[in-house]
Amino acid sequence: MKDLYRPTGIQRVSQSARTVEADHLATETLLRLNDANGTFVTLLGTPSHLDALFIGHCLCEGYAIEGTPTFSVKSTLAGGYDITYDLEVRMPNLEHDRTRMVTSSCGACDSSGLDSLIDTLPGYGKEHRMVTLTDLNEAFMQMSKLQDGFAKTGGMHGAALYFIGGEVQHVAEDIGRHNAVDKSVGLATLAEGIPDDAILLLSGRCGWDIVAKAARAGIGTLACRGACSTLAADAARSLGMRIYSFVKPTGCVAIGILGDDLEDKP
């Protein structure tokens, strides 16, 4: 877990004292994703599961990878990492700026007319399985136990896939919400793939950008501990997806198709 956090000297201040200690801080560094044509995106993120980050980022952003994924990972003199795929990654937008940087909090904020972006996403046309509030809370409890980075630092986002009636898998953490989602999707893709009934679990909030990633990955249901934005809700309804936000033992907020199926049955 050394890539998730590192001990750093800090001053701990209280009302009556100040002490010098070491505390574990979440690691954040430059991560460059490269293909045969060079760097196509630079991320700020946590250097764990880097092959999964590459695969997941491409899938969740609509990039196409040619051939069988083979990667090399090298550290840079500045302390970052180059993750390189030896073939070409095809961009959905021919005007894609290969010099741009995506920070740990970036979404689609460099695009104009966010409402129109809903129309560019694939709809979810598969049947939704019943999920209960008990299912979701048990899933979040499982994920929480596997979030080592958050337990150490208190400052890392988590994402995972939950399979109804099964276990939470592909738990990933990162300083950035989007990277955590990319890693979880990438881990699943590199393993057995993403089943139709997978639920994307988010330790924080759900914005349009996360709904967009889920839609491109073929995931129809998202559940989050935090809030849901207006555009995320609009996108879910438009695309035949569903979002369960503010999930807690006493209830949640259900948005989108089949939201009323969440109630536990005796």
**Considering the domain boundaries, does residue 58 fall inside one?**
no
> Cα separation of 173 and 160, whole Å?
9
Q: Tokens at residue 28, please? A: 């954040």
**Considering the domain boundaries, does residue 169 fall inside one?**
yes
- Active-site hit among 58, 60, 106, 109: 106
Q: Is 224 a catalytic residue?
A: no
Phi (first) and psi of residue 110, to 5 degrees: -95, 10
**Considering the domain boundaries, does residue 96 fall inside one?**
no
- pLDDT value, residue 265: 44
- pLDDT value, residue 92: 74
**Considering the domain boundaries, does residue 37 fall inside one?**
no
> 């989007």: which residue's tokens?
178
The number of angstroms, rounded, from the C-alpha of 241 to the middle of its chain's C-alpha atoms is 17
- pLDDT value, residue 12: 87
**Considering the domain boundaries, does residue 240 fall inside one?**
yes
**Considering the domain boundaries, does residue 48 fall inside one?**
no
Which residue segment(s) compose the domain that 188 sits in? Answer: 133-262
Let me know: does 256 contact 236? Beta carbons within 8 Å.
yes
- pLDDT value, residue 98: 58
> End-to-end alpha-carbon separation of the chain, Å?
42
Which parts of 26-176 fold into alpha helices (H)? Answer: 50-61, 133-145, 148-153
**Considering the domain boundaries, does residue 149 fall inside one?**
yes
**Considering the domain boundaries, does residue 93 fall inside one?**
no
Query: Which 3 state secondary structure label does DSSP give 17?
Result: coil
| Burial group, residue 175, by CB count within 10 angstroms (0-12, 13-18, 19+) | buried
Q: What tens-digit pLDDT sequence spans the chain (266 residues)?
A: 458 888 888 888 988 899 988 889 999 999 999 999 999 999 999 999 999 999 999 999 999 887 777 889 999 988 899 999 988 898 876 555 655 556 544 445 444 455 677 777 899 989 898 999 999 999 999 999 999 999 999 999 999 999 988 899 999 999 999 999 999 999 999 998 998 889 999 999 999 999 999 999 999 999 999 999 999 999 999 999 999 999 999 999 999 865 445 555 43
> 């924080």: which residue's tokens?
204
- Nearest Cα residue to 206 out of 225, 188, 191, 219: 225
Number of domains in the chain: 1
Supply the DSSP symbol for 118.
Answer: G
Find the CATH number of the domain harbouring 151.
Answer: 3.40.140.10
